[in-house]
Chains A and B, each alone.
Chain A
Amino acid sequence: MTWSSFLNSSGPKILQILAVLVIFFGFYGIAFAAGARLQGKKQNVLALSLFLVPALILAMTGLGIPAVQTFIESFKNADSSKWVGFANYTRAFKDPDILLAFRNTMLWIIISPVVVTVLGLGLATMLNKMKREALAKSLIFMPMAISFVGGSLIWNLMYQYQEPNMNQTGLVGQIMKSLGIPLQHLLLWSPWNNLFLMAVYIWGTTGFGMVILSAAIKNIPQDIEEAAQLDGASGFTLFRTVTVPMVKTTIIVVLTTAMVGTLKLFDVIHTMTGGNFKTDVLSNRMFDEHFVYLNNGRGSTLAILIFLGVLPITYYNIRSLRAERKH
């Protein structure tokens, strides 16, 4: 690539970035200058309409209204031209492919959030006040910055398969070979391949759980811990009777966040197996129904089912938020 071809293809895009920034800051710059002169009720109305209304319109057109549309379309056929009642829903619970996606999604929701939380809590506890705490934390936290696409490729490299008589190029294969375990095409090996995919998610998310739980642990008042120690608690007893109860709320936050994350997880499946080899999950299946099979009705139905899965968690979070606001 030459300098001039770079300017040709990318110049306009860089100008576009600048244009967006100039328009946004220009508009609000003028609005703030004009608004500063106003007083009284007029000023309130203008402030509300410039501060709040854009965000509300954007959130409503982006999420609110489309969600309602998707709900309606889940009762229509492939090109949304005819009503079909609950046909898409009954089919979703009969189609073996979709049932498989359900099963896998359930596995994901049960296994990965628990692993992320347990690992995160264990690490946070062990690392607390340990030497080189910051370094270990940085290393474990680092995958948070890596996209799941990048992470999937990184793990693809780990899982590479070669014939047993060849030099192994995947590290996992090499380890299996050295230990004398029969080599496998790891990503084709159902149902265990689901676990190998989960490993990517767990690798990418444990740092999140660790950092949040670590902050919570550091917030435990020193005297409580000391009192327990004077009573003779130490090691695992201290962990079980003081640490866990004191960070219970945070444990639930990590667990629910990871649950919502796994319910919506798409990138890992799409990049690593494309949902083949019996690894399909709901959100990948939803994408395929919409954009591969072009079936609007079925895709919308799966989206609604994902939403119904997230709903109890959202409800729970709103309730605890309300309780907290009342305090």
Chain B
Amino acid sequence: MATLKLKKNKPLVAPSGTKPFTSPIASAIVTVIALLWTVPTLGLVVTSFRTKEEILSSGWWTSFTNPSFTLENFRTVLLTGGGSLGSEGMIPFAVNSLAITIPAVVLSVGFGLMAAYALAWIPFRFSNHVFYGLFALQGVPLQLSLLPLLTFFATGVQIGGHQILPPLGIVGTLAAVWFPHVMFGLPLVTYLLHNFVSALPRELLEAARVDGANHFEVFRKIVLPLSLPAVASIAIFQFLWIWNDLLVALVFAGGTDDVAPLTLHLANLGGSLGSKWENVAPAALFSIIIPLIVFFSLQRYFVRGLLAGSVKS
């Protein structure tokens, strides 16, 4: 058997694609790193099922030899709340996260796709300049725009004491948080979708134009259906980005719990509760569970979106 197997594995020509590193050492290194990357998260998961007393008196890894788990922490964090958790626990913050993320993703991807089509397929003067301008805006760190934008929301535009534009009146609302996300995300979203939309076969779009379809019809009947995979990748990307954001929430949710997303509440909890891990751990686990589900179920799309942004074909 052994010789037969050996023969089978020994082709006449050089094996196609022998890897540069194929040794037990490489496998060992990879295994160690993969473990190292997983263990911290595992620690959080285990900790969230331990009682307060256990968390304070021993390390989470001791639970493997001496298992005793409880769901009490989750009951506190999700249902009863209390203390710095807020009177209703984490669920209202999860709703805030959704109410910020969904509009921001839909609008940025929606506007981005239409803009990408316009830049790729509607000829007009300065089309190239607009494209580079938008691309360059990607290089503007959003740090530059936090305070001016917040002021714009609160007081509108005043020049020399004259009110040019009134205050938007959205300060303290959910819109004040998702609206900036739409604006900040657009340059990158448009750029990535432009890469995709501009690579659609010219003959296909031109044939439709010859048949009398105008831009609205071409967009709706050809570009939109064909772009769905790209749209999905970029939407997932945006979803994770916005769901996981802290800085924008910190600035635009303005310290009100009423519109604070999970990340913001969690950052406050981590600070104020200090070592109250029986609350912090399950709350953190709850906040990462939705992105993890999205990530694991749609990983292929996510990777595709990532590659679209970084690898040149």
Give the residues from 250 to 304 in chain B that come closer than 8 angstroms, CB to CB, to chain A: 250-251, 263, 266-267, 270-271, 275, 277, 280-281, 284, 287-288, 291-292, 294-296, 299, 303
Who on chain A is nearest to B258 by CB? Answer: A9
Which A residues are in CB contact (< 8 Å) with B20?
125, 128, 234-236, 238-239, 242-243
Quick check: A51 and B118 within 8 Å, CB to CB?
yes
Quick check: A62 and B39 within 8 Å, CB to CB?
no
Give the residues from 179 to 230 in chain A that come closer than 8 angstroms, CB to CB, to chain B: 203, 206-208, 211-212, 215-216, 219, 222, 225-226, 229-230
Please tell me which one of the listed residues A1, A58, A153 contacts residue B111 in the complex, with CB atoms under 8 A apart.
A58
Quick check: B280 and A153 within 8 Å, CB to CB?
yes
Who on chain B is nearest to A13 by CB? Answer: B99
Q: Does B114 contact A (CB under 8 A)?
A: yes
Please tell me which one of the listed residues A62, A208, A236, A307 contacts residue B184 in the complex, with CB atoms under 8 A apart.
A62
Which A residues are in CB contact (< 8 Å) with B57?
167, 169
Q: How far is the CA of A5 from the CA of B276 in the complex (A)?
A: 26
Decide yes or no: A300 and B147 within 8 Å by CB, A153-B266, A203-B40 being known contacts. yes
Give the residues from 255 to 273 in chain A that come closer than 8 angstroms, CB to CB, to chain B: 257, 260, 263-264, 266-267, 270-271
Which A residues are in CB contact (< 8 Å) with B22?
129-130
Q: Does A81 contact B (CB under 8 A)?
A: no
Which A residues are in CB contact (< 8 Å) with B102?
17, 20-21
Q: How many residues of B contact A (CB 8 A)?
A: 122
Which A residues are in CB contact (< 8 Å) with B91?
1, 6, 10
Quick check: A130 and B26 within 8 Å, CB to CB?
yes
Quick check: A44 and B122 within 8 Å, CB to CB?
yes
Quick check: A63 and B21 within 8 Å, CB to CB?
no
Which B residues are in CB contact (< 8 Å) with A107?
none
What is the size category of the interface that chain A forms with chain B? 35 or more
Quick check: B246 and A149 within 8 Å, CB to CB?
yes
Quick check: B288 and A146 within 8 Å, CB to CB?
yes
Contact with B along A140-153 (1 / 0, CB 8 A): 11111111111011
Decide yes or no: A66 and B92 within 8 Å by CB, A16-B99, A21-B106, A157-B40 being known contacts. no
Quick check: B14 and A230 within 8 Å, CB to CB?
yes
Quick check: B144 and A307 within 8 Å, CB to CB?
yes
Quick check: A314 and B138 within 8 Å, CB to CB?
yes
Quick check: B130 and A44 within 8 Å, CB to CB?
no
Quick check: B139 and A274 within 8 Å, CB to CB?
no
Quick check: B306 and A211 within 8 Å, CB to CB?
yes
Quick check: A10 and B310 within 8 Å, CB to CB?
no
Q: Does A101 contact B (CB under 8 A)?
A: no
Which B residues are in CB contact (< 8 Å) with A154?
40-41, 43-44, 284
Q: Does A78 contact B (CB under 8 A)?
A: no
Quick check: A52 and B135 within 8 Å, CB to CB?
no
Quick check: A170 and B140 within 8 Å, CB to CB?
no
Q: Does B154 contact A (CB under 8 A)?
A: no
Quick check: A170 and B59 within 8 Å, CB to CB?
yes
Quick check: A125 and B21 within 8 Å, CB to CB?
yes
Who on chain A is nearest to B286 by CB? Answer: A150
Quick check: A142 and B37 within 8 Å, CB to CB?
yes
Q: Does A54 contact B (CB under 8 A)?
A: yes
Which B residues are in CB contact (< 8 Å) with A238?
20
Who on chain B is nearest to A320 by CB? Answer: B312
Decide yes or no: A129 and B17 within 8 Å by CB, A1-B91, A20-B103, A136-B30 being known contacts. yes
Q: Does A250 contact B (CB under 8 A)?
A: yes
Which A residues are in CB contact (< 8 Å) with B186?
55, 58-59, 62
Decide yes or no: A10 and B115 within 8 Å by CB, A17-B103, A171-B61, A226-B14 being known contacts. no
Quick check: A56 and B216 within 8 Å, CB to CB?
no
Least distance between B187 CB and chain A CB atoms (Å): 6
Q: Does A110 contact B (CB under 8 A)?
A: no
Given contacts A10-B95, A250-B311, 13 further A-B contacts (CB under 8 A): A6-B88, A9-B95, A20-B107, A59-B190, A63-B183, A136-B30, A144-B240, A154-B41, A158-B40, A160-B275, A225-B17, A260-B141, A270-B267
- Chain A to chain B contacts (Cβ below 8 Å), 13 pairs: A1-B80, A6-B92, A13-B99, A20-B107, A32-B216, A35-B214, A59-B190, A66-B148, A139-B37, A154-B40, A168-B59, A234-B20, A303-B143
Enumerate chain A interface residues (CB-CB to B < 8 A): 1, 5-6, 9-10, 13-14, 16-17, 20-21, 24, 28, 31-32, 35-36, 38-39, 43-44, 47-48, 50-52, 54-56, 58-59, 61-67, 69-70, 73, 119, 122-123, 125-131, 135-136, 138-150, 152-158, 160, 167-171, 174, 203, 206-208, 211-212, 215-216, 219, 222, 225-226, 229-230, 234-236, 238-239, 242-243, 249-250, 253-254, 257, 260, 263-264, 266-267, 270-271, 274, 283, 286-287, 290-291, 296, 299-300, 303-304, 306-307, 310-311, 313-315, 317-318, 321, 324
